[in-house]
Amino acid sequence: MSDTKVHLAARIATADFRQSLSRSLKATASRLASALLVLLVGSLVVFLTIKAAPGDPALSVLGEQASPEAIAAFHKEHGLDRPLAMQYLSWLGGVLTGDFGASLTVAARQPVSALLFAKLPATLFLGFYALFLAVAISLLLGTLAASQRGKLTDTVCTSISVFGISMPDFWLSYVLIYFFGLGLGWFPTYGYVSPGESLVDALYVGFLPALAIAAPMAAVFSRTLRAVLIETMTRPYVTAARAFGLKSGFIFLHYTFRNALVPYLTVIGLQIRYILGGVVVVERIFGVPGVGSLMVDGSFQRDYPVLLACTIVFLAIVLLVNTVTDSICTLLDPRRSR
Amino acid sequence: MDEALVKIRDLRVSFGRGDAKTRILKGIDIDLANGEILGIIGESGSGKTMTGLSLLRLLPQTAHVEAVKMFFAGEELQQKSGGEFDALRGVQLAMVFQDPVGSFNPCKTIGWHFAQVLRRVGETGELRDKSVQLLRDVGVKRAEETMFLYPHQLSGGMLQRALIALVLALRPKLIVADEPTTNLDKIVEKQVLDLFLSLQRRLGASVIFVTHDMPVAASFCHRIAVMNAGEIVEVGETAQIFGRPRHPYTRRLIDTALKLAGANGRPKENQSHRARQAARFAEEPLYRVRDLTISFPHSNRHGSFRALDGVSFDVMPGEILGILGESGSGKTTLGRSLLRLYEPAGGRIEYRGRDITHERERSLRSIRREMQMVFQDPGGSFSPRRTMGQALREALAMARHPRAELRRRAVSLLERVGLTAEHGDRYAHELSGGQLQRVAIARAIALEPRVIVADEAVSKLDVSVRAEILTLLGDVQREIGMAIIFITHDLDVARYICDRIAVMYHGKLLEIGHTEEIFTRPAAGYTQSLLGTHQNLAKLIGAVA
Amino acid sequence: MSSPFRQKLRRFFSHRTAAVGLSITLFVIIAVILGPMILPHDPEMVDFMAVLVPPGFAHPLGTDSFGRDVLSRVLAGGRVSFGISFAAITLAAAAGAMMGIAAGYFRGWCENVLMRIADLLFAFPSFILALLLMVLFGFSTVNIIFAIALVYLPIFARISRNATMLIREEPFIQAARLMGRSPGAIMLTDILPNIATPLLVQASAGLAFAIILEAGLSFIGLGVQPPTPSLGGIMADGREYFSRAPWVLTMSGLAISFALLGINLLGDGLRDLTDPRLRERM
């Protein structure tokens, strides 16, 4: 009797887990599909915007005094004389086979995909390093502030956050360079070590730029976490848990924090678009050879294939991170995975 | 019931300090014997909920609590440190809340909650078996499976049972129950109350039962404390409070409830009323609804949900047609579809012989003025940024009254609904629920409608003002002669005001007929069981034979 | 009779964060408007006799490599930055609110089209989108305003749509429909005033982000072009000779942080006062 009962319970539990896993996998798949669609439409919009922009790339590459023949040759070489739809389709076809076209700048003329391939790891490393730092700092500050609400700790944490969002990343970079690099000499202020070479060195050298990107985000995240935690504390189930006499530490962990996690993660997903913005400027200041630096160089030279490719890559990263946070939220929140 | 389990003297609760101080409880005394059920009844804002919360130290930290005496089982609660109190709460003192859905951690299964609570009272070993047994004790049929479900997968009634099972596991000496059945449907409410009573008998626990529902209090409690504005105005045996109330406030509260419960006779029973009713049926119906179906898309899943399923009936000019049903029965959807606030998925709506089933929004605008609504939530009926006068003048302007007369007419409307000109300068948050509902009626009649849909128009009001608003609505109806579609879940209210009643259940119209016929000879099985659960206050306290 | 607005005003001034934030913000606004008129130095006047003078009596924040007065330049640059950000956020809020309210009120295909546009804009990293638009359409002030506005448009559109959806089913909106009022009138007089508060809170937060965005663009040289002074431009200059004259970068950095602090505190105060979820019960 008892055996069958346990057996039944176990069966229900496995079935339930399998169901929720398959549901969340299905949800993730459909989210990925819609992310790909956004990416496709996004690439079309960027492509058309670039074409609609005033100014002929041939002029900016060859110079204002270029002969009509040279311009025509340039157009022919880069396929700019074909109809727009054809240009887009051939670009898209190239992208699907890993070919982003050739850089326009005469000096470089390299395939964009080679440039991207060389620069992407640094950007990804720096971006995720910063994201990790921001999450870690915000978990600490936000939890401390919310649990010590109204006390000195709360005031200190909240003040740190307000100062954090009042420091633009490029300005913070110089403050960090000045204090921790030049002043104290704890960290190098320029350069980049690939995590493939040495993870420890990469983390060490990359610390200041990652922190510069992370700090404003950490401030935003911890303010969010504090607000969500405080809001969750007023929920009736927290009062009910107290009425059952459950321990306050247990209630904080399993009721308050657990339920605050989903809105917190949602905000992280939404903020990723700012993190990547920070990457562009900070990469330049610290001399990190990443996609951000590539894009700024491309901007000065009006190198459209490079600009297009960099924009699409950044768009893809945002969509990917959003899909991942969304899927985690679905797994964490039983109400969503119906 | 020999010795006192709880003895409270001069309990005061306030929020804020200095000028901003608001006093919620102004010195109340409570005595509760072992095994006794004390009902605390009162209207919203009377402080009845705060009494229970302060006893369990569950008030927010901003609350300031003081009392001369706060004894529980012979011990002074106020001297207990946080740790000592934590040891008491849950084990000796337990609480059942109004909102069963909100009382569960949405991220955890029902089984998880049982494991935590059983561990809390020192149970070890096969917690799952014990939990399943507890769930069975409270009448949950598929207890094993329920253990693995999340709160959002269960109904409110089921969750309230589970919550009671959790309290059962704690075996407390005192249970504070704060409106434990208010959010439940009538039929479920009856079951949960019976369950609660058997639990109380089994544990021999004392209960503080906070409620605004007088029939429930009358049938359930040994003694009653009546609260008003932070004070207990009267305490006594249940029979005394309801039979011979001493305090004028108590008397007013009970008189209103009795009036609605038909203690003074039923106006819809008399002959002249019947005759008028018959005359109406000779006329062309105001609405002719045939096979009406409304569906809403599901928010998460594909497919759709049928809120109304093949509903057919007529509305006669000048009648008050009640639409009776519980939450989710589709009664609100029905009312709104008559005003074409929803697009029907099937069937036909004819308004004065004109087919408006798929009428375009633009051409609806011209006939909408003839159809007005009075809403459940008086606070939400007015834009928070506009005064009552502005709202009324806006309505009058839409009814094409000359600009110069707007102000004068707005004032006369306010006076018609029993208010004064100075209420016209006020904002929604500066008026009480009853006053707002009067202005809402004024706004509706400003447009000289042929039909008013009143959606639970008195459900959010306190009992003492309910009768006034119903009377006003009835008076206005007789004077202007529009039809009223009166949507309600309250049997007393429906019987008090409606000429005819339609009973809704799961999107279907079960039966429609004259009010007294429905109440005395219900045809549908559902109507019979609904009426069976109804606790008539008048009968309960023997006010009528 | 006290209007809800006046009550809110009174509560606002008794809130410390809000009051401090408003004071700083007002101080900064007055400084950048009046400063360039009062100060003796022209922000663009080159003086090779006074190159890289440290802060002192004649030049409270020192001079830069062209001998230009840093204080004058910071204030003039602040005026440009503030003006651009303010214009961009106003534009974004107006257009975003229009989109969001229409989407939330009409639902259906209108919502689908408008919100997909907003979603697409929202998926681009903010700085990247602004950068791209600047490069493509040129570095004029008007283009910076449009670029920043486009970056913030989806946020306002989302907030207005969500807020509109929340109050769309409110009785007072239904009552207005039943009176026979036109959708335009309902959106303008019933919905907009009642969702203005979250928009205002978002606008103050957006203003701070817009200033950062504009400064970042100008800092890498893809924003406001010299000789027009801008905070980002001044800081970029200061970085060049940071070791010889640290005051240029430091002072302009402190100035921008001070202004941002004021705006952020103001935004926090507004949020505290208006978000019922964060307000303490009673």
Phi, psi of C218 (to 5 degrees): -65, -30
Tell me whether residues A335 and B106 touch, CB distance under 8 A: yes
From B194, B229, B261, give the residue that closes a domain.
Answer: B261
CATH number, domain with residue B512: 3.40.50.300
pLDDT digits (tens, 9 = 90+) for B108-127: 889 899 999 988 888 887 88
pLDDT of residue C278: 44
Instruction: Tell me the C-alpha distance between B249 and B253, whole Å.
Output: 6
Do B250 and B291 fall within a single domain?
A: no
**Averaging pLDDT over each range in A327-331, B148-152, B357-361, C90-94, which range is the top one?**
C90-94
Q: Do B97 and A240 touch (CB under 8 A)?
A: yes
Domain ranges of chain A: 112-337
Summarised one tens digit per residue, pLDDT across range B102-112 is: 899 988 889 89
- Over range A236-246, report the average pLDDT: 87
Minimal Cβ distance to C180: which of B365, B381, B430: B365
Both tokens of residue B483?
């039809």
Q: Which of B418, B419, B436 is nearest to B427 (CA)?
A: B436
Task: Tell me yes or no: is domain A112-337 CATH 1.10.3720.10.
Answer: yes
A69-90 pLDDT tens trace: 888 887 787 777 788 888 888 8
Q: Mean pLDDT over residues B519-538, rounded? A: 84
pLDDT in tens, B368-391: 888 999 998 888 889 888 899 999
pLDDT digits (tens, 9 = 90+) for B476-514: 998 888 999 999 988 888 988 899 999 999 889 999 998
> Are C131 and A280 in contact (CB < 8 Å)?
yes
The band of A106, judged by pLDDT with boundaries at 50, 70 and 90, is low
Task: Tell whether B349 and B466 lie within a shared domain.
Answer: yes
Residue C53 tokens, joined: 């003078």
Q: Predicted confidence band at B149 (pLDDT cuts at 50, 70, 90)?
A: confident
Asked whether residue B399 is assigned to any structural domain, the reply reads no
Average of per-residue pLDDT across A293-312: 86
Chosen domain end from B236, B261, B286: B261
From A8, A235, A243, residue closest to B144, measured CB to CB = A8
Q: Which of A19-28, A100-109, A237-246, C273-282 has the lowest mean pLDDT?
A: C273-282
Both B213 and B299 in one domain: the answer is no
Shortest CB distance from B368 goes to which of C4, C180, C282?
C180
For residues A118 and A124, what is the distance between their CA atoms, to the nearest angstrom? 12
Residue B16 sits at the vertex; the CA angle it makes with A153 and B212, to the nearest 5 degrees, is 120
Q: Do residue B317 and residue B183 come from a single domain?
A: no
| C49 part of a folded domain | no
Which among A54, A166, A319 is the nearest to C260, CB-wise? A166
Q: Which residue has the higher pLDDT, C275 or B397?
A: B397
C171 close contact with B: CB closer than 8 A: yes
- pLDDT at site B450: 92
Give the pLDDT score at C87. Answer: 96
Classify burial at B265, counting beta carbons within 10 Å of its beta carbon; exposed 0-12, middle 13-18, buried 19 or more: exposed
Look at the alpha carbons of A8, A10, A12, A14 in this order and tell me if their dihedral is positive or negative.
Answer: negative
Residue B500's pLDDT is 92
**Which residues of chain C make contact with A300, given a CB cutoff of 8 A?**
221-222
C166 reaches A (C-beta below 8 A): no
Q: Best mutation site among A171, A190, A213, A223 for testing chain C: the one with the most C CBs within 10 Å? A: A171
Res B541: pLDDT? 66
pLDDT at C153 over 90: yes
Q: Which two tokens stand for residue A44?
A: 């079309």
Q: What is the ipTM of this complex?
A: 0.82
CB distance from C234 to chain A under 8 Å?
Answer: no
Question: Per residue in A186-221, pLDDT tens?
Answer: 888 777 878 878 888 888 888 999 999 999 889 989
* Domain match, B198 and B321 both: no
What is the predicted pLDDT for the residue at C227? 78
Of C124 and B298, the structure prediction assigns the larger pLDDT to C124
Do residue B234 and residue B303 come from a single domain?
no
Please tell me the total count of domains within chain C.
Answer: 1
**Lowest-confidence segment of A63-67, A175-179, B159-163 by average pLDDT:** A63-67
Please say whether the beta carbons of B356 and B349 come within 8 A: yes
pLDDT band at B299 (very low <50, low <70, confident <90, very high): low
The pLDDT of residue B263 is 62
Collect all residues of chain B within an 8 Å Cβ-Cβ radius of residue A235. 102
What's the pLDDT tens digit per position in B28-45? Answer: 899 999 889 999 998 877
Residue A165, min C-alpha distance to chain C (Å): 8
Residue with tokens 């000109």: B421
Q: Mind listing the pLDDT tens digit for each residue in A265-298?
A: 988 888 888 778 888 889 988 888 888 888 888 8
| Residue of C11, C106, C173, C178 for testing the chain B interface, max B β-carbons within 10 Å | C178
Whether residue B383 and residue C174 make contact (CB cut-off 8 A), yes or no, is no
Of all residues in chain B, what percent carry a pLDDT higher than 90?
25
Domain assignment present for residue B414? The answer is: no
The CA-based diameter of chain A, rounded to the nearest angstrom, is 94
pLDDT category at A141 given cuts 50, 70, 90 is: very high
Cα B130 → chain centroid: 35
Report the side by side order of strands in the sheet with B37-42. B93-96, B174-178, B206-211, B37-42, B223-228, B231-237
**Residue A338, C-beta contacts closer than 8 angstroms, at least 6 positions apart:** A23, B300, B301
CA distance to B228, B375, B383, per residue, from B435 (Å): 19, 13, 15
- The separation between CA B28 and the C-alpha centre of its own chain, rounded to angstroms, equals 26
Is the pLDDT at B288 greater than 90, yes or no? yes
Query: At a CB cut-off of 8 Å and minimum separation 6, what does A245 contact?
Result: B86, B87, B88, B89, B90, B91, B120, B170
On whether both B499 and B476 belong to a single domain, the answer is yes
Task: Summarize the confidence of residues B266-286 as an average pLDDT.
Answer: 72
Determine contact: C13 vs chain B, CB below 8 A. Answer: no
In sequence order, the 6+-apart residues with CB closer than 8 A to the CB of B363 are none
pLDDT class for B396, splitting at 50, 70, 90? very high
> Above 60 in pLDDT, residue C281?
no
Subunits touching C (CB < 8 Å, at least 3 pairs)?
A: A, B
- Please judge whether B105 and A259 are an interchain contact, meaning their C-beta atoms are less than 8 angstroms apart: yes
Cβ–Cβ below 8 Å for C124 and A311: yes
pLDDT band at C251 (very low <50, low <70, confident <90, very high): confident
pLDDT-derived band at B338 (thresholds 50, 70, 90) equals very high
Q: How many domains does chain B have?
A: 2
Residues of B in contact with C172 (CB under 8 A): 380-383
Count CB-CB contacts under 10 A for residue B4.
Answer: 18
State how far the Cα of B60 lies from the Cα of C280, in Å rounded to an integer. Answer: 9
Q: Which residue of C has its CA nearest to B452?
A: C178
| Mean pLDDT on B194-209 | 89
The DSSP call for residue C222 is S
239-268 in chain C: CB under 8 A from chain B:
none
d(CA B124, CA B130): 10
Supply angle C-alpha B10, B15, B17, rounded to 5. 105
A95, exposed or middle or buried, with CB in 10 Å at 0-12, 13-18, 19+?
Answer: middle
Q: What is the CATH number of the domain that holds C128?
A: 1.10.3720.10
Q: Is there a contact between B388 and B411 (Cβ–Cβ < 8 Å)?
A: no
What secondary structure letter does DSSP report for A182? I
Answer yes or no: is C106 within a domain: yes
Domain that holds residue B474: 271-370+449-544
In-domain check, residue B124: no
Give me the mean pLDDT over the C10-36 stretch. Answer: 84
In this structure, the answer to whether residues B240 and B306 fall within a common structural domain is no
Predicted local distance difference test score (pLDDT) of residue C144: 92
Q: Last residue of some domain: B261, B284, B310?
A: B261
Mean pLDDT of B90-100: 85
- Chain A partners within 8 Å of B132 (Cβ): 5
Nearest chain C residue (CA) to B16: C282
Output phi, psi for A187, to 5 deg: -130, 150
Averaged confidence pLDDT in chain C = 85
* One domain for residues B354 and B277: yes
pLDDT of residue A118: 85
Whole-number pLDDT of residue A17? 64
pLDDT band at C3 (very low <50, low <70, confident <90, very high): low
Question: Mean per-residue pLDDT for C260-277?
Answer: 80
DSSP string, B428-445: GGGS-HHHHHHHHHHHHH
Range with lowest mean pLDDT among A111-115, B165-169, B390-394, C133-137: A111-115
CA–CA separation, A42 and C117 (whole Å): 10
